[in-house]
């Protein structure tokens, strides 16, 4: 079957500044052929100047992620026929949220720098600290990791660093200093490891600006991850561990607390009050222009201060039940 591929080309040597453009190639596609096979065939037979990254061609090395019909995918793990049947087109572009260097090759240095920022290596509790009893008994176990401990970090271990999640991340699109889902999944790999000695320090650092609280929970990272790493799940694990460990002095954690309090108090989100709780008085003043803009567009919640909802007693019952369950769980773990 003949299928037309529209591939985004870019070569910095072609002009100052060079402009990207689309080039079409028609290819005879066989059943089972992957997008990577197609790119290789085009490069072998039609246009040897086409550049793209590739290596293992079995979805484990993470080299070949590109944008296929608008979404970040591994080109080796995407078959042409079903994709074409579904979308009626084959548009191949470089990953989003990354700067193209040539054709489908993007600059991955910012990706690696983000990974490096989370100090992606185990820093185990020192023997001396264990002897002194500075660490809880569970961490005292040294190299003994149970199957359950392994389970907690299993998904985060599957990451192949292909960049699909960062490419689709909405938070990264608006804040290019945001650390991004890939690095956060890696961070949980370490924070969630029972042998790690610096979990709290890591969580404090991750709670800083452009850190884990920047995630807007759009679920794209999880949706587009080709290896089921579920970065969002790992980000949530980081956040809830931070709350449990009392790393609370940051807007992210305060926002969560304010949200929980607001629901408990009035049964719904009291947005104005939450702003004060999250940012504090002075920084909330800085939000006034934003509030005026909201008002102009008719987006200001009214009234500004909410009355309690009618069935607030039911909401509080839910809270009580949740607190009871959590307590039970804690005691069971201790026992």
Partner 1 sequence: MRAAIEAAAEGLNVAVVSKVYPVRSHSVAAQGGINAAIKDTDSWENHMFDTVKGSDYLGDQDAIEILCKEAPRDIMELERMGAVFSRDPSGNIAQRPFGGAGYPRTCYLADRTGHGLLHLMYEQLLKHEVFIYDEWHVARLVVEDNVVRGIIAIELRGGKLHRLHSKAVIIATGGYGRVFHTTTNALSSTGDGMGLALNAGLELMDMEFVQFHPTTLKRTGILITEGARGEGGYLLNSLGERFMANYAPTVKELASRDVVSRAEKTEIDQGRGVNGCVLLDLRHLGADRINERLPQIRELAINFAGVDPLTEPIPIRPGAHYSMGGIMTDVDGATKIKGLYAAGESACVSVHGANRLGGNSLLEAVVFGRRAGAAAARRCLACAAPEFPDSALRDSAHDIADILRRDNGETASALRQEMTLVMEEHCGVFRDSEKLIAGLAKIRELKQRYGKVSLSDKGDYFNSELLAVLELGHMLDVAESIAAGAVARKESRGAHYRTDFPRRDDREWLKHTVVRKEDSELKISYKDVNISRYEPKERTY
Rounded distance between C-alpha atoms, residue 229 and residue 225, angstroms: 6
Nearest distance, CB of residue 270 and partner 1, angstroms: 44
Q: Which stretch binds partner 1 (CB under 8 A): 7-15, 209-217, 282-290, 306-314?
A: 7-15
State phi, psi for 67 to the nearest 5 degrees. Answer: -95, 115
Burial of residue 167 (CB within 10 Å: 0-12, 13-18, 19+) is: buried
Draw the binding track, 125-144, toward partner 1 (x: CB under 8 A; -: no contact). Answer: ------------------xx
Beta-bridge partner residues of 105: 102
Q: Which stretch binds partner 1 (CB under 8 A): 84-92, 114-122, 205-213, 291-299?
A: 114-122
How far is the CA of 74 from the CAs of 8, 224, 231, 277, in angstroms?
16, 10, 17, 42
Q: Which stretch binds partner 1 (CB under 8 A): 51-59, 129-137, 216-224, 327-335?
A: 51-59
Cα first-last separation, the chain:
64
The answer to the question of residue 120 lying near partner 1 (CB under 8 A) is yes
Six-digit token pair at 105? 């090759």
Q: What is the DSSP code (8-state) at residue 45? A: I
Nearest distance, CB of residue 16 and partner 1, angstroms: 14
Q: In this chain, which of 51, 140, 198, 275 binds partner 1, going by CB under 8 A? A: 51
Pairing of strands 21-28, 2-9: antiparallel
Rounded distance between C-alpha atoms, residue 73 and residue 69, angstroms: 9
Q: In this chain, which of 158, 200, 233, 277 binds partner 1, going by CB under 8 A? A: 158
Nearest distance, CB of residue 49 and partner 1, angstroms: 4
Residues in the site for partner 1, rule: CB under 8 A? 11-13, 32, 34, 40, 43-45, 48-52, 54-63, 77, 79, 101-103, 105, 108, 112, 116, 119-122, 124, 143-147, 149-150, 153, 157-161, 190, 193, 195
């Amino acid at each position: 079957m003949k299928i037309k591929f529209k591939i985004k080309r870019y070569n910095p040597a072609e002009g100052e500044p060079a402009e990207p453009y689309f080039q079409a190639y028609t290819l005879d596609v066989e059943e089972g052929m992957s997008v990577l096979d197609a790119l290789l065939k085009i490069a072998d037979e039609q246009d040897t100047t086409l550049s793209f990254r590739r290596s293992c061609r079995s979805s484990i090395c993470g080299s070949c992620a590109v944008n296929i019909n608008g979404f970040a995918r591994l080109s080796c793990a995407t078959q042409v026929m079903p994709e074409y049947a579904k979308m009626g087109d084959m548009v191949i572009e470089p990953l989003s949220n990354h700067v193209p260097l040539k054709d489908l090759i993007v600059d991955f240095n910012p990706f690696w720098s983000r990974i490096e920022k989370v100090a992606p290596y185990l820093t185990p509790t020192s023997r001396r600290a264990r002897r002194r009893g500075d660490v809880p008994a569970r961490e005292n176990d040294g190299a003994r990791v149970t199957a359950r401990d392994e389970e907690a970090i299993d998904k985060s271990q599957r990451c192949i660093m292909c960049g699909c999640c960062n490419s689709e991340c909405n938070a990264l699109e608006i804040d290019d200093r945001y650390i991004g889902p890939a690095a956060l999944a890696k961070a949980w790999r370490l924070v969630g490891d029972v042998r790690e000695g610096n979990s709290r320090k890591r969580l404090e650092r991750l709670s800083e600006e452009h850190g884990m609280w920047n995630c807007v929970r759009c679920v794209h990272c999880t949706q587009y991850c080709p290896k089921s790493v579920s970065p969002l799940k790992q980000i949530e694990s980081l956040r809830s561990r931070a709350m449990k460990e009392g790393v609370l002095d940051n807007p992210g954690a305060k926002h969560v607390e304010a949200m929980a309090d607001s629901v408990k108090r009035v049964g719904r989100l009291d947005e104005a009050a939450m702003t004060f709780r999250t940012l504090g008085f002075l920084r909330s003043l800085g939000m006034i222009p934003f509030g005026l803009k909201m008002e102009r567009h008719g987006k200001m919640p009214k009234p500004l201060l909410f009355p309690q909802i009618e069935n607030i007693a039911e909401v509080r019952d839910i809270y009580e039940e949740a607190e009871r369950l959590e307590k039970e769980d804690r005691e069971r773990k201790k026992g």
